[in-house]
Amino acid sequence: MLGLAFFAINHMGNVANAQTVTPKLTPAEETALRNSAAPPQDTTLWSSKGLINIHFSQVQLNNWAAGGQSNLSLLTKFDQNWNLDREQFGWDSELHLAFGLLHRPEDRVFLKTDDRIEWSTKLGYRTTTSGFVTVMAHFRSQLAPGYAIENGAPNRELLNSNWLAPGYGVVAAGMDYKHISDSGSTINVFLAPITFKSTWVLDDSLSQAGAFGVTPGETSRYEIGGYLKLNALWKISPEISYAVRLDLFSNFMDNPQNIDIYSDHVIALKVNSWLTTTISATFIYDDDITLTKNPEEVNGIFVPQVGPGLQLKQVLSVGLSLSI
């Protein structure tokens, strides 16, 4: 009887010990257990991309019977984009700088061929996979003075533009749509039914002349209207891309049918990792900017035509292209 009791107690102890023994895990099982207990990872996606373009050309003539003039030209561009993408919020910001000069050594003339500083930023709250409720701020101006050209040379007495003369600022709220394809092509459409646009002319001579739509003697002009901004990039092939940008603004308070247009078109042909050929065109129409256009004959007299018109700039360049 005592032996039977001893056997029962011993058997119960072995069962209890067996129940408390932790089985040994394999390395794969240990890794899976650690990952399941780890805190959730941050889903924030941050990206930054920059591009520097340097284009240079030289024409040297010596006893050239056909005529012409020696010149040097330099065009530099800097483009930088920052993007932050979280589950509910998205932030995009971009900076564009461009400056170009043409130098004619024979008459010691410097001509400005390009001049731009532009910055924009957007903060959006995600409502769908590709849709955001967004607020945006945008600024555009130039860095150096620009002068009227007379007889092929700048007239320093006739100033056309300067730093913040003009300067443009836009603050808008609306809906933003973003899409990125598998090929790397992108499209971004921002539509703002409520937009505040500012035009600054901080140079005294241009302000007194009422340039860029400001009242003569005033340094600023403010408008309320609607705004549409389109940015798209098509990857035609690994070496060829086409980028387009379109800004449209309608002033609700003054001739809303006369829409301001700013549009950039750039075709880039990549030769290798550091050499690129670009073909670009910029179109501007602003109903508040007065231009002196080609004269027309009126009663036998050629009269210059003054008023708003389409502005166009075309550039074909080959040079260095460095990603940063």
pLDDT tens-digit profile of 67-97?
A: 777 889 999 999 999 999 888 999 999 999 9
Name the CATH topology of 47-323.
Answer: Outer membrane phospholipase (ompla); Chain C (2.40.230)
Per the CB < 8 A criterion, the answer to whether 277 and 261 are in contact is no
- How many Å apart are CA 72 and CA 317, to the nearest integer? 14
> What mean pLDDT is reported for the chain?
85
Per the CB < 8 A criterion, the answer to whether 171 and 195 are in contact is yes
Per-residue pLDDT of 254-295, as tens digits, reads 999 999 999 999 999 999 989 999 999 999 999 888 787 666
Domain boundaries, the chain: 47-323
The beta strand positions in 238-300, using DSSP E, are 240-251, 260-270, 275-285, 291-298
1 pLDDT higher than 80? no
Per-residue pLDDT of 206-244, as tens digits, reads 999 999 989 999 999 999 999 999 999 999 999 999 999
**What was the pLDDT predicted at 225?**
97
Does the pTM surpass 0.85? The reply is no
Per the CB < 8 A criterion, the answer to whether 205 and 159 are in contact is yes
10 pLDDT higher than 90? no
